[in-house]
Structure 1
């Protein structure tokens, strides 16, 4: 009897201790099942991952609890459950919502440096494009193409060749839009411009692109007049895995990519590597290109407080280029006509192109000081090598306009002196750039957070010309170098994208110009934000000082080679408030003022050592109002803005025959940009998602353009006042809107399409009263995606993607650089005088890719 009692008691204890139930369910985003999602019982170590079909099963020793579900790129979901002894509870479909513009899981390094919209509770006008969309839709285009479905963003320049595109934001060109790589500035320090050929691998290494229109959230003293574009690159992956992919496209385009990550080891180390190669003939004639991308990231998590990540990336490339032509020329030879090359030794040889290799390295340190404070620092460097290929001398052409190399070589060989009558040259633009950005963040109580930091940079640019090909001549004669009169140059130099890192002309073999520019920059920035309940407000301020030096070895004797050093100071202030109304959305208002130093190229006159005495800081005032709304069905925003840009000064100097020096100054005109933007994302059903955007802008010049000529003592000699009030700013469509949709017919099989309309696009000719308006046009892009899950748990996959851009082969003018008005006798092309010059946009193009993830 005692044995029975003891046995029964033991059974009851064991049964109670190990009583359990099972919890099952399926994780989905409403369109696709999500294999590999992490499912954890909150407060325990019991966890699992979803299988091939997004399903999971967990054993629970408790009768109730909460599941915490996480998946990269989606908001964390918490789900309550309860089970009975020995029973199974099926939670059914559990929907994870995309984290939209939130990048918590994507930013894994430099969290205090990368100024993303998520880091500030006071809203801004923002759009975020993640890696999955970039990889799906980029095809053969520059990274700028991923931004075309964004309000107030216009992409131009693609027709020139691979890497030659440019974007404007709210009608402001690239030198008035700030571009950041993981929070570090990458606009050219000499002129503020962006050259996308230097960043041809960005689509391979970007985890996300965030476009902050207007004032943005960056704390740095940067020129975010139109907006701020932040590229967030991959870092060292936490999990082991990788992928291989290949793609083909129109005009013999081919690309292969491979990547592998070791994952983070128990000792805290991890490495990720990616390599790719691309090549293609280009859409237009004579725009062939080729290049590679390399990416190496090494991470080390020393402990819970210190994390380090070293990154090295580069995108060596070479590509031939197309120039804009008169519409009458296109009518004669076709829209793809490009006469920048000819036949040399039986093969096509372009006389115009670009080549560049810019390795970029940075070291990030994230230091969690305590629960309230953190310090993030990035030390970075880049070493740009390359330039452009062009011509020097008198070009000989065939009857159909191409470069006649045979005739040129014959003329060079027949030269009595042996000097080249025509040659190919490289305009070299090398640089070294080093910088440091550091940000300290702390919380003052529950409602206030405070940031303070430093932005330090030093840049040295080296500019000269060198001979690339003598084309049968013995030498090239440079008779302009004051230090080497009648310099005979016999040596030639390659534009091979790897050799250029170390092989370029020494001083005696440089011609036309040879100068250095050194720019040192120091900036201090700070931000304070108050957020409590439904109200938030912020204030940002920054102060910066720039020092400019110039040394010219070609146009000046040694005693005069060093120009006068120039120092200037700039600042900006920004502030804003927001109020969240439950169930309705958030309202916000922001304002900012910039006093921006002139760019280096405007400080020294005529690319010489004379200092422009008339430059002054440019003034920018930005105002914006907005409203954001988010629900399970639809997320959207509407924004209104007004940005004024004034006090621009450009100056040239002229020395008359009697030695009298005069300064001709264009004191410019105020540029006023205002508009309204709308964008939304909706999901009417689990299988259908719809997106849309619209922007209605008014970009115009205000007042008069004043051209003043002064003598050396600044006395006014003459002054011409030109009325440009109301003139339209060119090179950006002032009105655009679009709709997009994605529908999943079967699990992991979907089709998507985007339609866009552009209007009120004007010629890119500067400040004029009556600008020329280009015809409106529409574009439709479409794609099909299928993902095949493989592996024992479906954690591997093979993804297939087909894109067709400009599906209906719309013929349109994407940009003009002249504004010749039509007359009754004009020959018209699409309603425009045929003497106007510019580019047609691309016709129908396609690309196909396959990617295996493991």
Structure 2
């Protein structure tokens, strides 16, 4: 269910909106379960959102705005509602809704040839569910995979963003953007260990007597103030769009990605009963930039509107690291599961409207 109310006059516009939904999740598995136990219990969670914002036009060129929002979202299917959703019907009985509280304030400028938006944001995430997997050797010497499932993970995202568009003539316009963020974990959650079948584990990698039992291995994950990995926290872009003739567009974009950190990982020697593992700021992946080219031409075929378009991403075939997991000394020397980004790739598309 969704509802929204708006207010609008010459200088001030404002809105408030809200929604509510119920999410029901269950799992059916005939690979690991017989027919009588194939269907899991249902996990029902009620979620809602509420948002509000306002914009005030100072004059015909300048405006200021502010937005606030709160989200209560049902846990994800994997690592949230279910402890090990790929192989087990075990329900996560401690799963709670993830909460997000976000604030944004900004300033905008508009003219015939130039537009710009500058905003600052602060987002608080609470009660996230997060899982980390690792390999271990069981008591029989077999290699297996397990995971630590963390509840109540909190983080903060904050930063500033700038967007600009400059159109000095009808045949050309320039674009630019800059985003500088600070995204980090803000608490030390407790994680519970489970084997690949979703069963609770003891500190000796055996099956515990129950979920949350005294012998169920846990670990305090010391990640407070550790930078979040997996996304560049500084990004920038500059682009130019040319329209040299009717129907023809040529675009060139330079993209920069910086302050991307490796993700930390849990190792088999981290497992303990009521133990603690303190993580430090992980390896900072080298910054990189790419150049993309695209173009399109609109024309007619037998009276039908037609568009031929093409893209060349990473035009100069730049090599770069997209993601990695942090190693023991937080440098490139011990980083592992390193993934490189795509090299040069091209696409061509013909669209005919009829």
Task: Using structure 1 for the length normalisation, give the TM-score.
Answer: 0.33
Q: Are positions 1:838 and 2:338 aligned together? A: yes
Deviation, 1:807, is 2.8
State the distance in 2 between where 1:567 and 1:798 align: 48
Deviation, 1:821, is 5.3
State the distance in 2 between where 1:766 and 1:719 align: 16
Q: Is the 8 A contact 2:317 2:343 kept in 1?
A: yes
| Candidates 541, 550, 554, aligned match of 2:18 | 541
Aligned to 2:117, what secondary structure does the other structure show? strand
Aligned to 2:118: 638
More helix by share: 1
State the distance in 1 between where 2:301 and 2:36 align: 71
Q: Residues 580 and 839 from structure 1, CA distance in 2 versus in 1: closer, same or farther, beyond 3 angstroms?
A: same
| Candidates 307, 326, 350, aligned match of 1:819 | 326
Deviation, 1:765, is 4.0
| Candidates 82, 87, 91, aligned match of 1:604 | 82
Query: Which is greater in Rg?
Result: 1
Aligned to 2:142: none
Q: Is the 8 A contact 1:800 1:850 kept in 2?
A: yes
Aligned to 1:737, what secondary structure does the other structure show? strand
Deviation, 1:545, is 2.0
Q: Is the 8 A contact 2:6 2:14 kept in 1?
A: yes
| Candidates 277, 288, 291, aligned match of 1:780 | 291
Q: Residues 670 and 716 from structure 1, CA distance in 2 versus in 1: closer, same or farther, beyond 3 angstroms?
A: farther
Aligned to 2:52: 575
Aligned to 1:832, what secondary structure does the other structure show? coil
Aligned to 1:173: none
| Candidates 69, 90, 97, aligned match of 1:617 | 97
Q: Residues 853 and 615 from structure 1, CA distance in 2 versus in 1: closer, same or farther, beyond 3 angstroms?
A: closer
Q: How many residues align?
A: 312
Q: Is the 8 A contact 2:28 2:39 kept in 1?
A: yes
Once the two structures are superposed, the pairs formed by residues 384-783 of structure 1 within 5 Å of their partners are 524-601=1-78, 602-607=80-85, 608-649=88-129, 665-708=149-192, 712=210, 714=212, 719-765=218-264, 768-783=279-294
Aligned to 1:530, what secondary structure does the other structure show? strand
State the distance in 2 between where 1:730 and 1:714 align: 29
Superimposed CA distance per residue, residues 388-423 of structure 1 (whole angstroms, 9 cap, x where no aligned partner)? xxxxxxxxxxxxxxxxxxxxxxxxxxxxxxxxxxxx
Superimposed CA distance per residue, residues 593-624 of structure 1 (whole angstroms, 9 cap, x where no aligned partner)? 12222123332343433332211111111111
Q: Residues 610 and 747 from structure 1, CA distance in 2 versus in 1: closer, same or farther, beyond 3 angstroms?
A: closer
Which structure 1 residue ranges, 5 or more long, are not aligned? 1-523, 658-662, 824-830
Aligned to 1:343: none
Aligned to 2:317: 809
State the distance in 1 between where 2:295 and 2:129 align: 50
State the distance in 2 between where 1:563 and 1:787 align: 54
Once the two structures are superposed, the pairs formed by residues 133-152 of structure 1 within 5 Å of their partners are none
Aligned to 2:84, what secondary structure does the other structure show? helix
More strand by share: 2
State the distance in 2 between where 1:547 and 1:852 align: 42
Q: Residues 840 and 716 from structure 1, CA distance in 2 versus in 1: closer, same or farther, beyond 3 angstroms?
A: same
Task: Using structure 2 for the length normalisation, give the TM-score.
Answer: 0.75
